[in-house]
Chain A
């Protein structure tokens, strides 16, 4: 992987991953940010989990609008004109009564890439799972251009490696690209970082996950 140029700077071993998570969770508990650790029965493996309810654009739940999008493109367009059209189409469209989506975020460790990976799934309150197209339209336009470049390096549906259910995943290859500048800066300033805090603060917002600023100041790095 490209991390070879600076050995170990972009990689995280499993022990450090767990320590970083523990410190992260301690702070989350103190500010009631909702993260918990989920342990896998009969093993020492686990992951961090958080469920949030987020309000949705009115165009999102319009079935008619969706099917037109799906027919026209494999991946949603990302130019601003299309966005403007989405909004107006949404206003005219019939909305379902549920204007809230349930997003469930999981932070797992990938031993293959030796970095954390963000998995998430989204559903309407009636339990209906969101499609990749619907999830894409919730990705901030600023991020869509970059994510679209490599089809198999972006946001894809994947089997959750510990639960076996379909989730969306931000592919690890792109994550490295986001992380490098942050880690190099800290290294240059002789600062220790909590990898999980830095990483999640960068990748989380891409898929609608907010990491309060206090995490960056309050959470320490493992020794």
Chain B
């Protein structure tokens, strides 16, 4: 089997798309019937960043006074816009038929579940905050702090305008490490699952053991979610960008190649589909 070039992996991750169908909630007041709106969503972006067209489409059939902050829901679960789109899909709909059915709301904002997102600067602030936290883990924040404001802006603009080269021109600096270390100080990761109240699991995890061995995805899960690596029977799927990487994959490699633009490795653990 021919192994894909590492750079190809970066492109495949960046350009991953999910077909979605947006339907207006029956609770909304409309002047006439609203047609559903179809859109290909970038896995690595955020719902509120890429749905201006969805908003415009539904506003056509609504009165201005009936329109408050737009929010999304899938089968009754409010969708957290601040999670990358691909993570939301893997977590809630990866084993359902495509397209991903999302319901659009313009009132009754669920204050207890969702963060507000009044403007794109809120998304930018959140995105940059994640990048900063990831660098705190990888490099004690030294790389991000040494960058200028315009470099930070380049990261955000790259994501916002879907410019792979512009983004990676800067992001590659955040993926470097001293050769003698063998990897980052700690791996920025989050493990999500829908079966617990806790939103995610995040702890300090070094990519290289004290004996100098490269640790794997399996090692990470053994420590934090051992049930996910049980085989007989297989109860869970461990998903990153919609695929199940081999457990033998070094966690350092995953962090460098399968992280989201926010520099975090987002891992979804979902119940294995029963055949």
Contact = CB atoms under 8 A, between A and B. Distances in A.
Contacts, number: 65
Contact of B82 (A111, A159, A161, A165): A159
A6 to B, nearest CB: 13
A1 interface: yes
A164 B199 contact: yes
Interface stretch (B34-42, B91-99, B135-143): B135-143
A161 B200 contact: yes
Nearest to A129: B111
Q: Specify the main secondary structure of chain A where it touches its partner.
A: loop
Interface string A201-216: 0000000000000000
Interface residues of B, number: 32
Given A40-B198, A74-B119, A159 B80 contact: yes
B154 to A, nearest CB: 16
Given A1-B140, A4-B142, A111-B202, A152 B115 contact: no
Contact of A152 (B82, B128, B200, B204): B128
A162 B198 contact: yes
A163 interface: yes
Interface in A54-78: 74
B111 A164 contact: no
B51 interface: no
A164 B118 CA distance: 20
A159 B140 contact: no
B116 interface: yes
B198 A1 contact: no
Contacts of A160: 199
A137 B198 CA distance: 31
Nearest to B134: A112
Contacts of B249: none
Contact of A159 (B115, B136, B145, B197): B115
A34 interface: no
A136 B73 CA distance: 29
Contacts of A97: none
A165 B112 contact: yes
A220 interface: no
B169 interface: no
Nearest to A130: B111
A28 interface: no
B149 to A, nearest CB: 10
A131 interface: yes
Q: How large is the interface on A (under 10, 10 to 19, 20 to 34, 35 or more residues)?
A: 20 to 34
Contacts of B137: 112
Contact of B199 (A41, A111, A152, A159): A159
A165 B80 CA distance: 10
Contacts of B80: 159
Contact of B198 (A4, A157, A164, A171): A164
B99 to A, nearest CB: 27
Nearest to A150: B125
Contacts of B128: 152
B204 A111 contact: yes
A1 B202 contact: no
Given A165-B113, A166-B112, A166-B115, A112 B133 contact: yes
A40 B199 CA distance: 12
A152 B136 contact: no
List 10 tightest A-B contacts by C-beta distance, closest first: A164-B199, A152-B125, A1-B141, A129-B111, A112-B133, A157-B115, A112-B136, A166-B115, A111-B204, A152-B128
26 contacts: A1-B136, A2-B145, A40-B198, A41-B197, A74-B118, A74-B119, A74-B121, A111-B202, A113-B136, A129-B111, A129-B112, A151-B121, A151-B125, A152-B124, A152-B125, A156-B125, A156-B129, A157-B116, A159-B80, A159-B82, A160-B199, A161-B199, A161-B200, A165-B112, A166-B111, A166-B115
Given A112-B136, A112-B188, A152-B125, 19 more contacts: A1-B141, A1-B145, A74-B118, A111-B202, A111-B204, A112-B133, A112-B137, A113-B136, A129-B111, A152-B128, A157-B115, A159-B115, A161-B199, A163-B197, A164-B199, A165-B112, A165-B113, A166-B112, A166-B114
Interface of A: 1-2, 4, 40-41, 74, 111-113, 129, 131-132, 151-152, 156-166, 171, 173
